[in-house]
Amino acid sequence: MPINPGTSNNVERTRDRDLEFSKLMRPIPGIKVCDIDPTPICPNCEHPILAWEVKREFRNIYWAVCHSKYTRILALAFSIPAYFVYHQPADGKLTVTLLNADAEFPSQTYTVAEFQNWVGEQQAKHVCTSENLERQKIA
């Protein structure tokens, strides 16, 4: 039985994921391809609040940093924090590690409810800038 039955728009957890677009993009010479994990967006200015790479595996911090390069680049471009999220669905735990810290990589482990609250707290801290609001009007 699949972990998550998915919907008509998302069958990721059914193991019946459509990889055709990924297959189409990967052989193009000179192009790298990366998927972006679900990204929290401010409902007011429609700007990303934070970026993260979510995996069900965690070897060590060096491995996490290497496997989140494009997430960190995206976060830098948007001036938002970048995180590595180690998702342990069987235990109902998520360990969140800040990646764009100066020296240390602080981590915190949450239950699903605690994680959802934490994301809500990040939204509450978010400040809509005039630039973000203007960008929203253009799009």
The CA–CA distances, whole Å, from 72 to 45, 84, 94, 102 equal 21, 9, 19, 13
Q: Is the pLDDT of residue 24 over 90?
A: no
pLDDT digits (tens, 9 = 90+) for 31-57: 887 878 889 999 989 999 999 999 988
Contacts (Cβ under 8 Å, ≥6 apart) of 35: 22
Q: Is the pLDDT of residue 122 over 90?
A: yes
Measured CA to CA, the distance from residue 125 to residue 46 in angstroms comes to 15
Token representation of residue 74: 């995206």
Measured CA to CA, the distance from residue 83 to residue 127 in angstroms comes to 19
Token representation of residue 139: 């799009």
Task: Quote the pLDDT of residue 117.
Answer: 95
Q: Is the pLDDT of residue 77 over 60?
A: yes
Instruction: Give the ranges where the chain is alpha helix by DSSP (H).
Output: 20-25, 61-66, 69-78, 112-125, 130-138
Q: Is the pLDDT of residue 110 over 70?
A: yes
In the chain, domain spans: 1-33, 37-138
Q: Considering the entire predicted model, what is its pTM?
A: 0.77
Task: Quote the pLDDT of residue 9.
Answer: 47
Token representation of residue 63: 């491995």
Task: Quote the pLDDT of residue 139.
Answer: 62
Q: Which phi-psi region, left, alpha or beta, contains residue 58 (left: φ > 0; alpha: ψ -120 to 50)? A: beta
